[in-house]
């Protein structure tokens, strides 16, 4: 079983970090899972298009880039527009309804929530849209256990208890949608 | 039970862990994309292990400092990319001639010159082999996974120490920045090769810092040891390390520097075979292109095509025997690589079997895709 | 009492240098200082570059690393940091030190690496046939400035002083006693020390610039010499064409390794 996940948006939305959480959870805290992560690197970091490819598989992974995603998260219009023509019928397209207007007739199963607004209003922190979406993806895909994802947060943000707590809140919100 | 840690990190970080596990305690370098994480990791980790990091004024001085530190007994390494690798060639030659071990990580990017600084390529392979002027041979290893970045870094230091020579670690941007699962097993003492020391009691009169009578290097005591004086030089020298520009000596040294690597090719080279047993078509490749090729082989097998792959982990010296075996076995070989055919040309040199050798090249700074590799085969 | 001879390889003589060359005087001075200080040979590491003076390691019976042109200082940096207990000596000419290796010189001085650089300045590239270098005086004739040298030359001592060197001295081979004293001071100094040694090149520089035989050149050097103390009270015009000799800079500043250790130890990082 292999899941190809593209996390796309603009710099500063924490998408590489979400990819790391996915990779860490799968490879360190799940049984017999492999993960790869490749991120687009530019000289700029904030405000420009960014994407992270994460592959999670029960077999060793060869080619680590994703041409046709099984799952894609789009947190910005620029990201959606870049990928829309690559969606296939079964692609699950998660998008932020405040940030992205889907293309008419686009392929894929579109799942929209105002992740950023939810992050501000329900989690009380502007920076957890990525984690809410992660929870939702996990739930719909049946991917990873919450326990291993929280272990990944604890590993990635060791010593930063507040960050871990706010992400757990966001993750729970996503898992409950 | 050896200590083992599982991590999810990028290739460049695994290199630092591997270097420290191998016993490296000195880093001199000049930051350059896409290798800078190795410098940053070394700056952070070396002091934790009693080692030392220094950022030099350029890659020329970085290489020189590596050689000085290694001569004083510290296993040393540096990391760079194309433009820096070009500057290192001068003192890489000094390391080869003086026979001073060290490891150079070239995280290859698109070139020449500044090129596309953050984009991957595998186009420094010929520079690795022939960038240093004068006849010589070189050891170069190319990783295809983050696991390799850890494991083969230890191998690289071991080969450097064993053969008393700089070893090149030819990574690329894809593998350097790829994050994946790695299990870092701490090597046991018997898995670490440290440079041979003179037999206890060796006197200065008996001691020779160089030995040209066999294909293995002379023992190498550190400068500063209390009993033996050490003498190294980039000038052609005799076994005492003294200037020796006579024709016989020049000839002897030239042959020795090549033979100590080429005549030990079976000990040095590493290859990996994937689905080759019954293969009718084969890919021969290295580094990041291996990742795409494995997927291509799987896709072809799913279509009923008997495809297989030979990975040359050791790019230099080339595993000639293993490459010839493949050329003899199959009718068509495709060489996928992110350059215009540097490895393909080498494979053709061994093709005495009428095998069709095709190329799958990509030079746009994007990782070669499995589809492209398959197309190269289908379009023949 | 040790003799300079204990540090030399006499079977390598006669040396390669021309009759009248000043390099031999500097070589003897270095060996004499080792003897004077009673240094254990095993505790000395000499790194040499390329050029006439780069051959100095051929005649010394100590640890020697002979490297590429201009790269002696960075190679010595590696040795000095890998084994801080060594007396690291770097021998260079004006080509090695301030021309091809000029960038390394200023950075090594800035970092205050604990080593002693001994520069034999003969105003030109002797080994390759007398071409101009970074110290060739303006207007001089060399094989590559046959109509007179255009460029302004470096003052090595001023250059390294500006770069932060903590020990800077100059001597001419006319005065080997002073040279030995200054070399010893440099070895005893903890940090980056440099001693510029003015040496005649009668074969090339002296001949093209009509300075006569070696003895004449040495006499000329002596006439041009002004003690550092005296030079302090002289105007730039008065110092034109002069060679300031003696100890020029001596400052206390922790060397790179000491500083590195202090910073790392203060961090108390888990090992």
- Pairwise CA distance, residues C180 & C36, whole Å: 9
Place of tokens 């990782």: B367
* Length of chain B measured in residues: 380
Residues B55 and B180 in one domain: yes
C-beta atoms of B292 and A67 within 8 A: no
pLDDT average, residue stretch C179-193: 98
pTM: 0.96
Q: Is residue B147 less than 8 Å (CB to CB) from chain A?
A: no
Residues B43 and B179 in one domain: yes
CA distance to partner chain B, nearest, from residue C207 (Å) = 29
Query: What's residue C269's pLDDT?
Result: 76
H or E stretch including C131?
A: strand C131-132
Examine chains A and B and say if they touch (3+ CB pairs below 8 A).
yes
Chain A residues with CB under 8 Å of B308 CB are: none
C-beta atoms of A34 and B294 within 8 A: no
CB B38 within 8 A of CB B55: no
User: Is B104 strand, coil or helix?
Assistant: strand
Name the residue among C64, C75, C256 with its Cβ closest to that of B231. C64
Sign of CA dihedral B180, B181, B186, B187: negative
Peptide bond into B317 cis (omega under 30): yes
- Among candidates B277, B303, B292, which has minimal Cα distance to B360? B292
Place of tokens 């790829």: B178
CA distance to partner chain A, nearest, from residue B304 (Å) = 19
C-beta atoms of A36 and B179 within 8 A: yes
CA distance to partner chain A, nearest, from residue B275 (Å) = 14
Asked if the structure places residue C194 within a domain, the reply is yes
Asked if the structure places residue C234 within a domain, the reply is yes
- Host domain of residue B169: 4-191
Angle at C220 between CA C218 and CA C222, to 5 degrees: 70
At A74-104, the pLDDT tens digits run: 999 999 999 999 999 999 999 999 999 999 9
CB C43 within 8 A of CB C86: yes
Question: Is the pLDDT reported for residue C113 higher than 80?
Answer: yes
Query: Residue A174 CB: number of other CB atoms within 10 A?
Result: 26
C-beta atoms of B367 and A23 within 8 A: no
Instruction: Fill in the DSSP letter of residue B46.
Output: G
Q: What is the greatest pairwise CA distance in chain A? A: 47
At C114-165, the pLDDT tens digits run: 999 999 999 999 999 999 999 999 999 999 999 999 999 999 999 999 999 9
Query: What's residue C161's pLDDT?
Result: 98
For residue B282, what is the domain's CATH number? 3.40.50.920
Percent of chain C with pLDDT over 70: 99
- Among candidates A149, A164, A157, which has minimal Cα distance to A30? A149
Beta pairing, strands B231-233 & C63-66: parallel
Question: Is the pLDDT reported for residue C271 higher than 60?
Answer: no
Q: Is residue B4 less than 8 Å (CB to CB) from chain A?
A: no
Local confidence band at A48 (pLDDT 50, 70, 90 cut-offs) = confident
Chain B residues with CB under 8 Å of A42 CB are: 118
Asked if the structure places residue C243 within a domain, the reply is yes
pLDDT average, residue stretch A129-136: 97
Residues B60 and B180 in one domain: yes
Across chain A, what does the average pLDDT equal?
93
**Where do the DSSP E strands lie in chain A?**
2-10, 34-39, 49-57, 71-74, 92-96, 109-113
**Dihedrals φ, ψ of B110, to 5°?**
-70, 140
Chain B residues with CB under 8 Å of A36 CB are: 178-180
Beta pairing, strands C225-227 & C243-250: parallel
Chain C residues with CB under 8 Å of B222 CB are: 83
Asked if the structure places residue C2 within a domain, the reply is no
Chains that touch C (3 or more CB pairs under 8 A): B
| Strand partners for C246 | C170
Asked if the structure places residue B351 within a domain, the reply is yes
Query: What's residue B56's pLDDT?
Result: 98
Asked if the structure places residue C60 within a domain, the reply is yes
Asked if the structure places residue B260 within a domain, the reply is no
Residues B13 and B162 in one domain: yes
Chain B residues with CB under 8 Å of A62 CB are: 291-295, 298, 370
Q: Which two tokens stand for residue B184?
A: 């870092």
Q: What is the ipTM of this complex?
A: 0.96
C-beta atoms of C107 and B223 within 8 A: no
Total domains in chain B come to 2
Q: Is residue B369 less than 8 Å (CB to CB) from chain A?
A: yes
- Helical H runs in A44-160? 77-83, 115-118, 129-141, 146-156
- Helical H runs in C98-164? 102-111, 156-163
Instruction: Fill in the DSSP letter of residue C205.
Output: I
- Pairwise CA distance, residues C46 & C62, whole Å: 7
Examine chains C and A and say if they touch (3+ CB pairs below 8 A).
no
Chain A residues with CB under 8 Å of B174 CB are: 38, 64
CA distance to partner chain B, nearest, from residue C253 (Å) = 19
CB A144 within 8 A of CB A26: yes
Q: Across the beta sheet with B332-337, what order do the strands follow?
A: B271-274, B307-312, B281-285, B332-337, B356-361
- Pairwise CA distance, residues C129 & A112, whole Å: 78
pLDDT average, residue stretch A51-59: 96
Residues B282 and B183 in one domain: no
- Host domain of residue C41: 20-267
C-beta atoms of C12 and B242 within 8 A: yes
Instruction: Fill in the DSSP letter of residue B221.
Output: P
C-beta atoms of B174 and A37 within 8 A: no
At C208-243, the pLDDT tens digits run: 999 999 999 999 999 999 999 999 999 999 999 999
Across chain C, what does the average pLDDT equal?
96
Q: Which two tokens stand for residue B94?
A: 């000094």
Non-local (6+) Cβ contacts of C171 within 8 A are C178, C179, C182, C195, C196, C197, C198, C245, C246
Total domains in chain C come to 1
Walk along chain B (380 residues) in steps of 10 and give the mean pLDDT of each run.
90 98 98 97 97 98 98 98 98 98 98 92 98 98 98 98 98 97 96 98 98 97 98 97 94 97 98 98 98 98 98 98 98 98 98 98 97 91
Question: Is the pLDDT reported for residue A117 higher than 60?
Answer: yes
Chain A residues with CB under 8 Å of B292 CB are: 62-63
Query: What's residue B340's pLDDT?
Result: 98
CA distance to partner chain B, nearest, from residue A122 (Å) = 31
Go through the domains of chain A in sequence order and give each one's CATH number: 2-116+143-158 (3.40.920.10)
For residue C36, what is the domain's CATH number? 3.40.50.970
**Last residue of one domain, picked from the residues B160, B191, B222:** B191
DSSP B83-112: HHHHHHHHHHHHHHHHT--EEEEEEEBS-S
- Pairwise CA distance, residues B75 & B83, whole Å: 24
- Pairwise CA distance, residues B39 & B30, whole Å: 8
**Dihedrals φ, ψ of A94, to 5°?**
-95, 130
Beta pairing, strands B139-141 & B314-316: antiparallel
Q: To 10 degrees, the CA torsion angle through A85, A88, A91, A93?
A: 20
pLDDT average, residue stretch C23-51: 98
Asked if the structure places residue C39 within a domain, the reply is yes
- Pairwise CA distance, residues B126 & B106, whole Å: 13
Query: What's residue B1's pLDDT?
Result: 61
Q: Is residue B242 less than 8 Å (CB to CB) from chain A?
A: no
Asked if the structure places residue B253 within a domain, the reply is no
Query: Between residues C268 and C75, which one has the greater pLDDT?
Result: C75
B230 — alpha (psi -120 to 50), left (phi > 0) or beta?
beta
For residue B12, what is the domain's CATH number? 3.40.50.970
Chain C residues with CB under 8 Å of B69 CB are: 78-79, 81-82
CB C259 within 8 A of CB B52: no
Q: Which two tokens stand for residue A148?
A: 């291993």
User: Is C180 strand, coil or helix?
Assistant: helix
CB B93 within 8 A of CB B233: no
- Among candidates B365, B292, B376, B269, which has minimal Cα distance to B332? B376
Local confidence band at A40 (pLDDT 50, 70, 90 cut-offs) = confident
Peptide bond into C14 cis (omega under 30): yes
Question: Is the pLDDT reported for residue A105 higher than 70?
Answer: yes
Beta pairing, strands A92-96 & B281-285: unpaired
Query: Residue B152 CB: number of other CB atoms within 10 A?
Result: 25
Residues B278 and B374 in one domain: yes
Place of tokens 């256990």: A145
Asked if the structure places residue C12 within a domain, the reply is no
CB B373 within 8 A of CB B334: yes
Helices then strands, counting H and E runs in chain B, come out as: 13, 15
C-beta atoms of B178 and A64 within 8 A: yes
Q: Is residue B55 less than 8 Å (CB to CB) from chain C?
A: no
Question: Is the pLDDT reported for residue A45 higher than 70?
Answer: no
Name the residue among A24, A61, A64 with its Cβ closest to that of B8. A24
Asked if the structure places residue C7 within a domain, the reply is no
**Last residue of one domain, picked from the residues B169, B191, B213:** B191
C-beta atoms of B8 and A20 within 8 A: yes
Name the residue among A35, A38, A39 with its Cβ closest to that of B8. A35
**Last residue of one domain, picked from the residues B150, B175, B191:** B191
Peptide bond into B34 cis (omega under 30): yes
């Amino acid at each position: 079983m292999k899941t190809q996940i593209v996390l796309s948006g603009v710099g500063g939305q924490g998408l590489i970090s979400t990819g790391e959480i996915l990779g860490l959870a799968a490879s360190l805290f799940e049984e017999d899972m492999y993960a790869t992560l490749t991120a687009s690197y530019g000289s700029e970091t904030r405000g420009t298009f960014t994407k992270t490819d994460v592959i999670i598989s029960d077999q060793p992974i060869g080619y680590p880039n994703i041409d046709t995603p099984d799952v894609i998260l789009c947190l910005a219009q620029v990201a959606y527009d870049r990928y829309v023509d690559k969606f296939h019928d079964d692609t699950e397209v998660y998008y932020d309804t405040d940030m992205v207007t889907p293309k008419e007739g686009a392929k894929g199963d579109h799942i929209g929530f105002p992740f950023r607004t939810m992050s501000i209003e329900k989690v009380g922190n502007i920076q957890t849209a990525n984690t809410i979406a992660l929870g939702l993806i996990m739930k719909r895909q049946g991917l990873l256990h919450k326990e291993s994802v929280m272990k990944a947060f604890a590993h990635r943000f060791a010593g930063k208890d507040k960050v871990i707590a706010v992400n757990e809140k966001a993750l729970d919100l996503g898992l409950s949608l | 039970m050896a200590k083992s840690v599982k991590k999810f990190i990028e290739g460049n970080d695994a290199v630092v862990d591997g270097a420290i596990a191998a016993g490296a305690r000195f880093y001199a370098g000049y930051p350059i994309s896409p290798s800078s994480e190795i410098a940053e990791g070394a700056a952070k980790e070396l002091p934790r292990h009693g080692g030392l990091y220094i950022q030099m004024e350029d890659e020329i001085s970085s290489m020189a400092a590596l050689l000085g530190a290694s001569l004083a007994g510290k296993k040393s390494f540096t990391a760079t990319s194309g433009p820096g690798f070009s500057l290192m060639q001068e003192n890489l030659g000094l390391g080869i001639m003086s026979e001073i071990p060290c490891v150079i990580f070239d995280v290859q990017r698109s070139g020449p010159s500044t090129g596309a600084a953050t984009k991957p390529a595998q186009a420094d392979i010929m520079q690795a082999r022939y960038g240093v002027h004068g006849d010589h041979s070189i050891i170069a290893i190319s990783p295809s996974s983050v696991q390799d970045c850890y494991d083969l870094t230890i191998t690289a230091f071991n080969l450097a120490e064993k053969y008393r020579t700089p070893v090149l670690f030819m990574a690329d941007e894809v593998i350097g920045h790829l994050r994946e699962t790695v299990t870092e097993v701490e090597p046991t003492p018997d898995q670490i090769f440290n440079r041979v020391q003179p037999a206890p009691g060796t006197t200065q009169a008996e001691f020779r810092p160089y030995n040209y009578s066999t294909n293995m290097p002379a023992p190498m005591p550190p400068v500063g040891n209390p009993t033996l004086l050490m003498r190294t030089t980039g000038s052609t020298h005799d076994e005492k390390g003294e200037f020796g520009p006579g024709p016989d000596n020049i000839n002897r040294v030239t042959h020795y520097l090549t033979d100590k690597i080429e005549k030990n090719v079976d000990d040095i080279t590493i290859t990996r075979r994937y689905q080759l047993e019954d293969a009718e078509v084969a890919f021969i490749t290295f580094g990041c292109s291996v990742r795409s090729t494995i997927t291509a082989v799987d896709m072809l097998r799913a279509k009923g095509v008997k495809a297989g792959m030979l990975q040359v982990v050791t790019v230099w010296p080339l595993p000639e025997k293993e490459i010839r075996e493949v050329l003899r076995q199959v009718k068509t070989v495709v060489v996928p690589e992110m350059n215009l055919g540097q490895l393909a040309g080498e494979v053709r040199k061994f093709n005495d079997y009428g095998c069709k050798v095709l190329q799958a090249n990509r030079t746009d700074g994007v990782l070669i895709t499995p589809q492209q590799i398959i197309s190269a085969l289908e379009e023949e | 009492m040790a003799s300079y001879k204990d540090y030399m390889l006499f079977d390598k003589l006669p040396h390669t240098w021309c009759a009248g060359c000043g390099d031999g005087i500097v070589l003897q001075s270095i060996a004499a200082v080792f003897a004077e200080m009673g240094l254990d040979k095993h505790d000395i590491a000499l790194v040499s570059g390329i050029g006439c003076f780069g051959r100095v390691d051929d005649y010394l019976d100590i640890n020697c690393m002979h490297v590429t042109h201009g790269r002696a200082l960075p190679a010595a940096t590696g040795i000095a940091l890998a084994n801080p207990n060594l007396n690291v000596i770097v021998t260079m000419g004006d080509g090695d030190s301030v021309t091809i290796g000029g960038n390394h010189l200023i950075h090594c001085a800035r970092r205050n690496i604990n080593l002693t650089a001994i520069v034999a300045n003969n105003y030109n590239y002797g080994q390759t046939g007398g071409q101009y270098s970074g110290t060739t005086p303006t207007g001089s004739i060399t094989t590559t400035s046959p109509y007179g040298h255009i460029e302004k030359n470096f003052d090595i001592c001023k250059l390294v002083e500006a770069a932060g060197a903590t020990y800077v001295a100059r001597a001419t081979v006319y005065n080997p006693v002073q040279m030995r004293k200054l070399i010893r001071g440099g070895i005893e100094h903890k940090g980056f020390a440099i001693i510029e040694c003015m040496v005649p090149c009668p074969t090339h520089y002296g001949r093209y610039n009509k300075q006569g035989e070696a003895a004449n050149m040495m006499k000329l050097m002596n006439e041009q010499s002004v003690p550092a103390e005296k030079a302090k009270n002289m105007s730039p015009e008065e110092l034109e064409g002069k060679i300031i000799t003696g100890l020029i800079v001596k400052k206390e500043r922790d060397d790179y390794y000491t500083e590195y250790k202090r910073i790392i130890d203060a961090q108390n990082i888990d090992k």
